[in-house]
Structure 1
Amino acid sequence: MSFTVFRWILWSAVVVLFTGLGSVVGLMFLQSASQRPITPVSSTGVADIGGEFTLVDDEGQRRTWSDFRGTPVALFFGFTNCPDVCPTTLGELSVLLDDLGPQGDDLQVVLLSGDPKRDTPERLNEYLQSFDPRIVGLTGAEEEVDRAFKVFKAYRAIVPLDSGNYTVDHPAGVYLFDRKGDFFGILDSHESKDVQRQKIERLLAI
């Protein structure tokens, strides 16, 4: 037998040996993996929006998120110097509350100001006189308002104006929460009034 043939036979044997070992190891790994307990992953199916805060309402009273438990909430982010979106949305919510009749008493509409520097409790109270009296305004110190916006996953940005004044960017939608404080959905400003009312009625029914 020539040396070349012998070397070829030797290498073939090595390849077969390692292939067999690989198959055995792979089989052992699969058997071990199949016997490992599977850790269940649980999900509530509820968006993680909302959480505890401490703010001041338009009557000067300290309020927390827990104070609203047991009542469905329609939460709107805005500020009293807002030129269009805020008064329009609050006006529409006032009409919606009126249209709901007695059911409207079971819905708490809240305006959370993104402009604590200018929106004192007194200023909020004066501003809300133009809307349904059941609407509650919330404000607070800068850090308190900042935390509240963060727990609701809502953006807030101070935007300087050429006049030297400023405006505040904030979400345009109304956030809905059920009686347990869980996120329910959003009233989008582009939705029809019928669609918005149906959402509110479903919220009140649970």
Structure 2
Amino acid sequence: MNPKWHARRAAIDFIQNMIFCNLFNARQYAKQLHTLVLKYLFDEQLEVRITASTTLSGFYQCGYIQVTDEDLQYFCMMSKTNYFTEIDGKKVTLMKNIVKRHGGNRCVLGLCAIVLSSPYDISIHVPDALMLLCEHLYDPHVIQQSTQKCLSEFRRTHYDSWHEHQENFTEDQLLILTDVFISHSYYA
């Protein structure tokens, strides 16, 4: 792995373009590239993690890699990573734990990739991924920003046919999404 983050991000961009231009010739490399992209979700540099998430979402969207229940369960498990650590009896926020929760262990950015892989429909994994993302709305800034951006993009792409998409969610999930998407009045 190259020590310069620009090179790592360029490598992910190259992989994305290479696969999209040679989609039918590159099926045999799907597992290896899936592993590689997931590895780059662990990168310490934010730009590399975001590029890896975008690439993973594109792979999911075009069907090059299928979203599995194992992926969703793993993202769910990693979303529980505690970013606080006690040192000398004081709660301290460690950057490595924030990176781990954000994308390092494929959590929030992996969930965003699942949600954004279905831009105008709802795949079976999207409702659960959205619920997990809603739990991270009040996390530290980096995680919160990625979560809000993903939820905003989901709302934008599904707004026109929301009356049809609502059928894919349970009542509890719809209540949570309504609470997230509708801003509360300051004076209420």
TM-score normalised per structure 2: 0.26
More relative contact order, 1 or 2 (CA 8 Å, 6+ apart): 1
TM-score normalised per structure 1: 0.24
Greater fraction of residues in helix: 2
Greater fraction of residues in strand: 1
